[in-house]
Structure 1
Amino acid sequence: MNDTTGNGRPLAERVATRLLYPTARPRDKALREAVSGRVVLVTGASHGIGKATVRKLAAAGAVVLLVARSREDLDEVAGEITAAGGTAFAYTADLSDMDATDRLGRELLDTHGHIDVVINNAGRSIRRGIDESYDRFHDFTRTIDVNYLGPVRLLLTLLPDMRERRAGHIVNISTWGLRMPPMPRWSAYYASKSAFDVWLRTVATEIAADGVTTTSIYMPLVHTRMSAPTDFSGMPGLTSEEAADTVCHAVVAKPVEISPWWAGPLQAWSDITRGSTHRFISRSRGFHR
């Protein structure tokens, strides 16, 4: 008997994914009404969630601006979109280079006039124990540059125009890890993602009066190239397409945040039982592997 269905994943895993991480997919008409003719910038657009997202947005009529480090991969994605009748522009940039990121923002505004939606998707993930990091300070600078400082530098360039136009939406692809107790081996990644998460939520309170909105997506596990170095095989997780549906829902509905349904209760419970939760995780060998 075949116990797999769709994408080669075991049926039990797919059922668990549906229960733990139900996704909201906007209707085609709603997505088209939200993005048709709008200029949408997506970072990390050459692979994974970003690649699936730009395809969906372009198919709905958006003018998509693709940003990533690899010119060849970007051109391939942009070419596919153009061949399908969409409109896409590729921009090579490394968000860890602050001067280049500032120039990118200015070039985008000069070329396209304005940006309607910014989807901050580019990221760097590192899973490494602290005992393996004593001589690897660059692990922390690399993650902080890509996950925090780069997106801040880009938005500092784009935000003035959004506020002046009194229109704009920013979607941040964060991680469910920020809604959970701290886990061993993720110090560099979680700290950098947390920094931008707090920055954006704080800035959101200042720009709301100018008509600029934000959505923080606390994305669960997504089986992509970025997550592949850590063995998550067999664990419930979204595909890039499913994650992209969530991003599109954020663009259409503009909720303040999107997170797994159980994340809020878990966060509240872990805050109340912080000491015992810390002791449990510290002593459980499974979390340290």
Structure 2
Amino acid sequence: MGKTRTRHQHGRVVVVTGASGGVGRATARAFAARGDKVALLARGRKGLAAAADDVRQAGGEALVIGVDVSDATAVDAAAQQVVDTFGHIDVWVNNAFTGVFAPVTEVAPDEFRRVTEVTYLGFVFGTRAALRHMLPRDRGTIVQVGSALAYRGIPLQSAYCGAKHAIQGFNESLRCELLHARSRVRTTMVQMPGLNTPQFDWVLNRMPGRARPVAPVYQPEVAARAIVHAASHARRREYWVGGSTAATLVANAVAPGVLDRYLARTNFDAQQEKGSHDGPANLWAPADGPHGDDFGAHGRFDDEVVGGGPQQWVSRNRGWVGAVLTVGAGVLAARKLVGRR
């Protein structure tokens, strides 16, 4: 009886975009483990089929919908299919993205456009599709999967950083509008650190080395737990996942110019490792195309991931952490000035 009550309590209808691999794949499993019905949206057929198997094995019900999130009409149709199948939408997770790993001068105009259409407009179209069904019911939660790069741009990922910055601004505008309307529909954003996902083997890479996340690297399950938590606690405007995210955002708020120079000096090497990129790029077509494989949730960095414990404490106490670090930075700056005198 207790088990049935728990499954009924958490038996929500959840939509996850970019569900075929990486964070989306781990997130779909995490919702399914709560007994939720999960609609899986992505382009890759093999990844979607495997994600559906994951959902069912975890205890959820799966609905597979092949869709390119840059197509607003297709996203609207996908949302309607979810409602036709499950009756409504409780949670919509915008997660799908793509990118190009190269200096600005080596990214073509159509590549900038494509990254923007998928990574930014895909979130806009997903949000609008969700609102179309949530607002009449006056309930529902939209979770925007962000990044520390939504606040702090880094070299070699200008198109992706620009799109994540745009999502941040878009979500703040939406949040204000929902508050103005006194709507019970919520939106929140989860800012992520470097994650061990297949994206670094999918990214269109024009650098001499293989792309990699900036250390420390966290497992996608850490991100998934944060997304599931945010979906149930969406009054909070955003969450920071990982100590590195908190450190980056605080440092950028306190001393952005110093951070510019630090990233210029370190982040070309920090985002590459030895070896050549020989995997499929998913900019224009899914990586698990007709001749591709199911890539799953994890990338190739399992041996170097860090524990996921501290990130939840940092996120939930980020106001206190930020105040302490800001005061500390002020003290250090004052000491430097005194020393110069």
Please report the TM-score for the alignment, with normalisation by the length of structure 2: 0.67
Q: Do residues 257 (structure 1) and 238 (structure 2) align?
A: yes
- Could you list the per-position Cα deviations for residues 227-277 of structure 1 after superposition, in whole angstroms to 9, with x for gaps in the alignment? 345533782111111221111221222221112332442122134xx3x55
The residue type equivalent to 1:247 in the other structure is I
Residue 215 (str. 1) matches residue 188 (str. 2)? yes
SS at match of 2:200: coil
The 1:211–1:33 alpha-carbon spacing in structure 2 relative to 1, beyond 3 Å, is: farther
**Is this contact kept in 1: 2:98–2:160, CA < 8 A?**
yes
1:186 counterpart (143, 151, 157): 157
| Equivalent runs, 1:78-97 vs 2, <5 Å | 78-97=52-71
d(CA) in 1 for partners of 2:233 and 2:7? 12
Correspondences of 1:45-84 after superposition (within 5 Å): 45-84=19-58
> TM-score, length-normalised on structure 1?
0.78
Please give the secondary structure, in 2, of the residue aligned with 1:216.
strand
8 Å Cα contact 1:46/1:73 also seen in 2:
yes
State the SS of the aligned residue for 1:80: helix
Paired amino acid for 2:94: N
Pair 1:269-2:240 in alignment:
no
Identity %: 32
SS in 1 for 2:93: strand
Q: Which residue of 2 aligns with 1:142?
A: 114
Is residue 215–residue 257 contact of structure 1 (8 Å, CA) maintained in 2?
yes
Q: CA deviation at 1:164?
A: 1.8
Instruction: Give the RMSD, CA atoms, in angstroms.
Output: 2.4
Equivalent position amino acid for 1:94 in 2: D
Aligned in 2, Cα 1:288/1:81: closer, same or farther, shift over 3 Å? closer
Answer with 32-41 or 195-204: which moved more: 32-41
Q: Aligned equivalents of 1:224 and 1:186: distance in 2?
A: 16
CA distance in 1, matches of 2:167, 2:71: 17
Unpaired stretches in structure 2, ≥5 consecutive residues: 204-209, 270-341
For residues 45-98 of structure 1, give each alpha carbon's deviation from its aligned partner in whole angstroms, at most 9, with x where no partner exists: 111111111112111111111111122321222123324542111111011223
Q: 2:39 aligns to what SS in structure 1?
A: strand
Judged with a 3 Å threshold, the aligned counterparts in structure 2 of structure 1 residues 234 and 125 are, in CA distance, closer, same or farther, namely closer
Q: Any idea what the Cα deviations from partners look like across 1:185-224, whole Å, max 9, x if unmatched?
A: 2211111111122111211111231111111111000011
Q: Distance in 2 between matches of 1:69 and 1:265?
A: 36
Distance 1:231 1:64 in 2: 31
Any unmatched runs of 5+ in structure 1? 1-28
Segments of 4+ moved more than 6 angstroms: none
1:287 to 267, 275, 283: 267
| Aligned equivalents of 2:163, 2:156: Cα separation in 1 | 14
CA contact (8 A) 1:126 1:186 kept: yes
Greater RCO, CA 8 A, separation 6+: 1
Partner of 2:172: 201
Matching residue within 76, 91, 111 for 1:102: 76
How many equivalent pairs are there? Answer: 251
Q: Bigger radius of gyration, 1 or 2?
A: 2
